[in-house]
Structure 1
């Protein structure tokens, strides 16, 4: 979508005019995040999480590059090299904790970003490609985080790698060769550690590239907004700068306060104590769990405890775990409601709240021991998760009667402020 009322970049200084002719980078920045990019005037703080995700990625890139200078991807010394970083490298403890907690905060803001998109219908036309690219970023994040969790080569790192790569072994015929190919052998060792380290270093740059595509796809139709109503003119928009750069700056300040509070006062709160024990293939931890941001999917994996026909329970769990993410790729076509925003969909709003509770329950069960009643609760929660997207959402989108939409964004803003 083009905005004819947008400000256009017109450099005045001769040097900037020459640069704009040879390499129009200032114009690109101006049109992407400056006064040349009109944004709906009613965006709330839930629209901060895209910028916060970019800030979290920047933290991960900077700290990760420095940590890679001191890390040794060798099974004999990997654990010791991490201890060396913590004890001997100048500010190494801070870099390591910043990187580990940065991953958690990255996932926090991305999960909030995803649920904001689910509630406000940001996956609906004409923004399907924005949603699909966002899910690709999410999958790349999960792969990067898993391989990064292996690198400290503690007990949970080793056994987490063994369990997660072992899931591929459940695939008939090709599963075992795939598992051997991933590990470079029959068990996690030097080959696996080198592969995971290489890919863990590479994938964040791939994520950055896909984020550029994500932003590019967003700038074609423009940003969604809390009403879900399309922009109808210049009265519905304000320039991104200074209005939303200031708003994003405030959100970034809150984010950094919380992040630094965790970094300096509770750096190990989201970690697992067993990972401070060197990897030992002969000693299995009592309770193997991935990092907290994988717990909902881990609960879905463990929810299958019985075979169905000729399909073993382990394979069913693997299929369900991957399907729980792949299902989101079809969301733009599963929800056929013409109304985007959940603010105007009373039935959808109630079921969305149930979905949020359901995912939190799955997360709790994923971090709990694989015993009753957690397994049974996981089974009910996993069943509801799939029912929400495959059954409830299509039915609600056809049967519910949405509330009247405002005629324009401006009308909604003025009505909210009592000036209509």
Structure 2
């Protein structure tokens, strides 16, 4: 609605609320599965979870919320980064990339310079690329036009959909953003404004593009030149001949047209720069995840501090029965771990569901990007285990005062 994925946001809120409401049932199931043997502290902690799962829910609710949000963001960012990495590998298949530099004046590679680049020793093939813009609708942002050599079936593009049998019309491949914004579908015939006239073309497929949110049209370079007569190029993807060294060819390219006339880059450098920008852009999400975890731990500490203060007589009775402070501390640690475990388990499940909503709904509707699901299992396992351990420590620290000598004296109040 109005460009906002309100349904996705509502789904996230409902998943969080539903996860919190289902915590008592999850705690009861976990308590039923716990072994009944082991040390006294372990048996007491398991018995308390079975008898009063609501107490664990109070502490676990904050943990579930923080874990769910952190897990959802981790899954979304990992999926996005992995998809961008794969996408870069698909759109950067050449060994070297050359572009008209600022010192070239026109910013284009003319036919003569293209021929000289292709004729350099060590160059096997050069795929030249022409960039332009198309204004499909007056008053709307222009759409990027990319003309480059494309396989007949578009198999060298990161396709997400393709048309059936090809017709006689020139073919184009549109980005997901353009499909969403214009509603074009594979196999559909559309008109493009090329060289001052409307040209009928067929949509041969939809490809994944993380660079242009306003949409992009990909066309085979031969078709573009035939339709427009434009022989210029902006970039060139250089494929090396067998046995050629990238450094030697790069040096020859740099000296071909004078200082600064050409900019040369390797695909590894472009990928590294792109991923570094990506990581810098999403660095704030890691900070938000850390804040969410701290809030969850603070909830565990506050809940156990309040419960421990109310259980001073219980601790005193346990001391009279022969338990040491160490054993009571171990019992509190297990109770904190169990409460956090319930929250972490529920948070992982809810966070996975929210992550799917972020990937399939929120990002798709907000940015017109699709991505493949990638779950960082090891990172999430370490995260969950570490959070349970920290919750156990927080529970012990919160109950230290209630385990002191005053707990023993508090039993007198019942005599």
TM-score by length of 2: 0.21
Q: Larger strand proportion, structure 1 or 2?
A: 2
Which protein shows a greater Rg? 2
Query: Quick one: higher RCO (CA 8 Å, sep 6+), 1 or 2?
Result: 2
Q: Larger helix proportion, structure 1 or 2?
A: 1
